[in-house]
Structure 1
Amino acid sequence: MGFDYAIVHLKYTIPPAVLLTWLYRPFFYSLDAYKVVYLISVALVSTIPWDSYLIRTGIWSYPSHVIIGPKLFDIPIEEVFFFVVQTYNTSLLYLLLSRPTFQPVYLSAERGASHSRWRSSRLVGQAFLLAVIAWGWRCIKDDSLGTYTGLILIWAGPFLLLLWTLAYQFILALPLTNTALPILLPTLYLWIVDTLALRRGTWVINTGTKYGVHLWDGLEIEEALFFLLTNALIVCGQVAFDNALAVLHTFPTLFADPSLLPSPATLMRALLTPCSKYNNARLTGLDEAVRRLKRKSRSFYLASATFPGPLRADLLLLYSFCRVADDLVDNASSADEARDWIAKLRKFLNNVYSDTASESAIHHQVCAEFPLAMQSALLQLPTAKLSPQPLEDLLRGFEMDLAFEDEPLIKTAEDLRVYSERVAGTVAQMCIQLIFYWYPSILPAEEQSAIIAAGNNMGVALQYVNIARDIAVDAHIGRVYLPLNWLSEAGLSYDDVLKNPKQSQIETLREHLLSDAFSLHEKAKDAIEHLPVEARGPIRVAVESYMEIGRVLRQDGFKVKAGRATVPKSRRVMVAWRTLNR
């Protein structure tokens, strides 16, 4: 009886598990726990018979003085724990590195020329893995120095072949930070750990079944191959799982109302769904939504990565619609053209929420009346999960913007609040509606209504920050959102602000507006804690990332880019991290 192997865990495998758990804790939703437990179960079921065979046939062994004693099918309990902790650590590293990636945009419908390219890639990978398995079988048949290598290859090869066949597209399409990095980092780390263990004799590979080649002094080439392949299996398993989830949650026409914790059978059905059945318009809409968010709002793009997958998709599509609608009105060449766009948007929404308008009629109207680059934002709006009133109020907010053509619009603080409720409070309300759709609340209806009202107030607070940031930018296009009575009290006129939006009195008014914003924020933020647990952290990040702009505006000498105060990326990341861990 000894503790050498247990000490390896205490020194080298458990500390990374603790660190990764701490780092990923804010995102560790039930779906992530499900994925990790599922992979660990598969790892145990697939590895125990193989490892037991290696021990019983003398391929490797564990001296009695380095293990505690209990065994499972001849496998020391420390080795069984190693299967668990390696799978756990590599899985968490994968989840952490892939969190920023919106994976559904890496699906492909594989039509036309792309089908041939994908098919060729699949066949090449399958041929390579079949050759690896065949070589492994030959090594075993020769019963020579390649026996251990052969046993590794015929064990890992079929699993890799299956995963490649099911998820090759995702494996190839995802960024290397999602695939190669979570394989290579733990592999290199375990190579070092294994070197130390082999030198200490914690486990022994018997001679006669290994080549005797070392990757470096102390690390057998077979051990290096084993850890590389096991980490590849774990990551490819996670990728296949995410591939199935992306299919389930991206194509409602293929899988209506899928469970947030789908069964293995459902996951397999999703992976076996031919890519030709994917809705290409849906994929285009999501891809364009991601691009818009990256380009137009870095704060909200950072925040979007913290939301669970299916909710994140709908929020991206909602943002895409709001951004497109706003751009159509703001970029119109005249007030008449802007009013025409609003009329077309209202017609679209009336058709969507009508009991008589067909889907083809809606599609025809969008294609006939809106620019091609903006059509997906309308057609992919998740209207079935949203009530029509906030969308109508949003259009009324756009109409208030057009009133600037005739006379100053914002005369009092109440006018400013009404405007902000329409252009921002409505968006917050719709976000909460989507949250309650995906994660139904058990709260009474009146409490849910109170949360939505608080969301409206928070949207107003964010809009106040936006106005405070853009005083100079808005003045450049002939608009002043500061209330006229505030201007009068400061000894300014509307035209004074248009001519010189950087004078000292305006800084006082900016601070007044920011004070109102932070007051509303303080009153509304507690309502976040009554949201479903999956949305609390992400909503806090979305809110605090934007409120950080207000905090920057209160500092002397804040940086300005394109006329707007900016928050450095490192500061945005730190705000998100502190907020998630609150």
Structure 2
Amino acid sequence: MGFEYALVHLKYTIPPAILLSIIYGPLCTKLDLYRIAFLITIAVVSTIPWDSYLIRTGIWSYPRNVIVGPTLFDIPLEEVFFFVIQTFNTTLLYLILNKPILHPVYLVKERKGDKWLYVKLIGQVVGALLLKQAVTFIRTGGSKTYLGLILVWALPFLLLLWSLAYQFLAQLPFTSTLLPIALPTLYLWIIDTLALKRGTWVISTSTKTGISLWPGLEIEEAIFFLLTNTLIVFGLVAFDNAIAVLHAFPAHFRRLPTLPSPVLLVRALLLPSKAYDDDRILGIQQSVARLKRKSRSFYLASSTFSGRLRIDLIILYSFCRVADDLIDNAADAAEAQGWVKKLKQYLDLSYGEAVLDGAGNTIESKDANRGAATLFAVQNFPEDAQLTLLLLPTQRLAKEPLYELLKGFEMDLLFSSTRPSGPIKSSDDLDLYGARVAGTVALLCIQLVLHYHPGTLSDAKAKRLMAAGHDMGIALQYTNIARDLAVDAAGGADGVGGRCYVPPPWLKKEKLTPETFISGLRKTSNEDDFFAKKVETLRARILERAFAFYDTSIEAVEELPGEARAPMRVAVESYMQIARELRRAGEGKGRVKVKAGRATVPVWKRVWVAWRTLWGRRRR
């Protein structure tokens, strides 16, 4: 009896498990726990017969003075635990590296004659040839027996997983697949080297090649750990492939349980890729690309949501960006107003507002309404905007906030070179503007959350949560205004069309007008300290307003359904961190990093804020 093998776990495998658990803990969902349990069960069940055979035939052994004693099918319990802890650690690393990724964007609809048939076949042929060679090693016996047994055990599983998830395995970024294989493998190679040198486990000299990867590490052991980590990651990729299909195609899988059964996962993997909705895939891809490009804060926050809720939130954001860009990039006010009108018409059709047939009769059919909306989008909007419009989940969103959003865009059209303050004449006007362009969007986000996680909320509480979300949206818009004072003043590329969102009474108090405020912000010189102080005073007032709305609505986040509570915290706090950075800079306690004229928060700080927020920690 000894504790040498147990000490290997205490020193080398359990500490990484604790560290990874701390890092991923606040991100972990019920589906993640299910995934971890699923993979560990498969790993243990599939490895025990093979490992037991190797021990009983003397291919490897464990001296009695290094193990505690109890065994399972001749396998020391420390070794059984190794199956569990290795799978756990590699799985957590994979989950951490894959959390930012929306997996449905990597789905591909295959067509006759494209590359995917050859990709699949090449992997299968290579795997089959290696398997054939492994069988030869076993039949020949001698020094290649152990290597052959490793390959014969691992390759059939790898072939099966490749055949089911080859698209994902070929498409996912290397950081999502190769890195979670390479890092644990290298770490276990080091542990194995130390264990072999100490005699914690012993490989029979008659069944090994004698080749070492480096001094102390047998090549068979190196291949074993490489293959076991590859098996774990391939299994996780196949799992995520199935989940991506389930989430991306509600037309094929209308009802989706929180924890899909193995049968449902297999059904998803076996769904022919030619049955995929490629328009939906492309629309999701375009929406994710917009989110990455336009808002890093919300892109980070979106990764903390999951499932169909995450997809709908991203599409909603994409719709808002599409609408905003169409109007902002219009050649003139008339064209911009035309886009607002077309967007209203599209919403009218989507929500079934008076669709007429050829005879002028009203059509009540939802399918007819949807068909009319689709035709209108294709005929009237740019190609890169069409799919976002068509994917907007209008059946899960109230129409009023969307119409209010368009009214917010119309308020923007009232700004001009002769009216730099546009419709903003008072703080009430600015509140109204924030409510329309941002409060509406936040309210819609809460609606989606409550649709997917209804729980037992009463109607009164649901309305209160949506009202709080609406106010939080105003807080975020005030942050946006405080950040973009100079950008808004600059106007277009020609310097025309500068906007001043600061209410004139606030400006008057600082002895400024909208015109002098814009003119001062457009100057590149920083010599006018007096003007700069006035700008900071106004920015501080805007931020004060932002935090006032934030303070009145933040507690409502804790009343959201548990599945969305922490992610919503991240969505709010990651953006409000910009406000905190601006406030600190205004108080002379730090400097703000500026990119393209806008204050930004460094990536490391955004990640830190998100992580601590997920644990339920926030600060004023």
Q: Same fold (TM over 0.5)?
A: yes
Counterpart of 2:552, as a letter, is: K
Find the counterpart in structure 2 of residue 427 from structure 1. 441
Find the counterpart in structure 2 of residue 442 from structure 1. 456
Identify the match of residue 550 of structure 1 among 561, 572, 579. Answer: 579
- Provide the secondary structure at the position in 1 that maps to 2:601: coil
Find the counterpart in structure 1 of residue 469 from structure 2. 455
* Residue 36 (structure 2) pairs with residue 22 (structure 1): no
1:319 Cα deviation from its structure 2 partner: 0.6
Larger deviation: 566-575 or 537-546? 566-575
Question: CA 1:82–1:560 in structure 2 vs 1: closer, same or farther (change >3 Å)?
Answer: closer
Q: Deviations over 1:306-353 (max 9, x none)?
A: 222432211111110000001111121222211211111111111111
Identify the match of residue 238 of structure 1 among 228, 236, 239. Answer: 236
* Alpha-carbon distance in 2 for matches of 1:497, 1:437: 44
Find the counterpart in structure 2 of residue 487 from structure 1. 507
* Residue 430 (structure 2) pairs with residue 416 (structure 1): yes
1:400 Cα deviation from its structure 2 partner: 1.6
Counterpart of 1:511, as a letter, is: A
* Alpha-carbon distance in 1 for matches of 2:415, 2:190: 67
Counterpart of 2:377, as a letter, is: V
* Alpha-carbon distance in 1 for matches of 2:463, 2:145: 67
1:567 Cα deviation from its structure 2 partner: 2.1
Identify the match of residue 534 of structure 1 among 554, 563, 578. Answer: 563
* Alpha-carbon distance in 2 for matches of 1:71, 1:4: 16
* Alpha-carbon distance in 2 for matches of 1:218, 1:546: 51
Q: Deviations over 1:176-218 (max 9, x none)?
A: 1111110111111111111111111111111211111111111
Q: Deviations over 1:475-500 (max 9, x none)?
A: 23232211222223332222222322
Find the counterpart in structure 1 of residue 13 from structure 2. 13
Find the counterpart in structure 2 of residue 331 from structure 1. 329
* Alpha-carbon distance in 1 for matches of 2:595, 2:196: 56
* Alpha-carbon distance in 2 for matches of 1:483, 1:441: 42
Counterpart of 1:576, as a letter, is: A
Q: Deviations over 1:522-567 (max 9, x none)?
A: 2211111111222222222221221122122220553433222222
Find the counterpart in structure 1 of residue 178 from structure 2. 180
* Alpha-carbon distance in 1 for matches of 2:288, 2:570: 18
* Alpha-carbon distance in 1 for matches of 2:283, 2:211: 52
Larger deviation: 165-174 or 202-211? 202-211
Counterpart of 1:530, as a letter, is: E
Identify the match of residue 199 of structure 2 among 173, 198, 201. Answer: 201
1:112 Cα deviation from its structure 2 partner: 5.2
* Alpha-carbon distance in 2 for matches of 1:249, 1:240: 14
Identify the match of residue 191 of structure 1 among 189, 192, 196. Answer: 189
Q: Deviations over 1:414-473 (max 9, x none)?
A: 111111111101111111111122222222221222111111111000000111122222
Q: Give 5+ residue unaligned stretches, structure 1.
A: none
Identify the match of residue 395 of structure 1 among 406, 427, 432. Answer: 406
Counterpart of 2:400, as a letter, is: Q
* Residue 523 (structure 2) pairs with residue 509 (structure 1): no
Counterpart of 1:456, as a letter, is: H
Q: Deviations over 1:263-282 (max 9, x none)?
A: 10110011111111111111
TM-score, normalization: structure 2? 0.91
- How many residue pairs were aligned? 580
Larger deviation: 173-182 or 447-456? 447-456
Identify the match of residue 374 of structure 1 among 367, 373, 385. Answer: 385
Counterpart of 1:185, as a letter, is: L
Find the counterpart in structure 2 of residue 573 from structure 1. 607
Find the counterpart in structure 1 of residue 525 from structure 2. none
* Alpha-carbon distance in 2 for matches of 1:459, 1:421: 7
* Alpha-carbon distance in 1 for matches of 2:428, 2:462: 25
Q: Deviations over 1:23-71 (max 9, x none)?
A: 1011111010000000001111111111111111111111111111111
Find the counterpart in structure 1 of residue 105 from structure 2. 105
* Alpha-carbon distance in 2 for matches of 1:526, 1:371: 41
1:283 Cα deviation from its structure 2 partner: 1.0
Counterpart of 1:388, as a letter, is: K
* Alpha-carbon distance in 1 for matches of 2:320, 2:350: 16
- Do the aligned residues in 1 keep the contact of 2:351 with 2:369 (CA within 8 Å)? no
Counterpart of 1:435, as a letter, is: V
Counterpart of 1:415, as a letter, is: D
1:227 Cα deviation from its structure 2 partner: 0.6
Counterpart of 2:607, as a letter, is: V
Percent identity between the two aligned chains: 57
* Alpha-carbon distance in 2 for matches of 1:470, 1:215: 57
Find the counterpart in structure 1 of residue 339 from structure 2. 341
Find the counterpart in structure 1 of residue 597 from structure 2. 563
* Alpha-carbon distance in 1 for matches of 2:393, 2:135: 52
* Alpha-carbon distance in 2 for matches of 1:568, 1:197: 42
Larger deviation: 558-567 or 38-47? 558-567
Counterpart of 1:46, as a letter, is: S
- Provide the secondary structure at the position in 2 that maps to 1:111: coil
Identify the match of residue 223 of structure 1 among 221, 230, 243. Answer: 221
* Alpha-carbon distance in 2 for matches of 1:538, 1:385: 20
Q: Give 5+ residue unaligned stretches, structure 2.
A: 353-363, 492-496, 523-530
Q: How do residues 31-70 of structure 1 correspond to structure 2 at under 5 angstroms?
A: 31-70=31-70
Counterpart of 1:490, as a letter, is: E
Q: How do residues 282-293 of structure 1 correspond to structure 2 at under 5 angstroms?
A: 282-293=280-291
1:81 Cα deviation from its structure 2 partner: 0.7
Find the counterpart in structure 2 of residue 361 from structure 1. 372
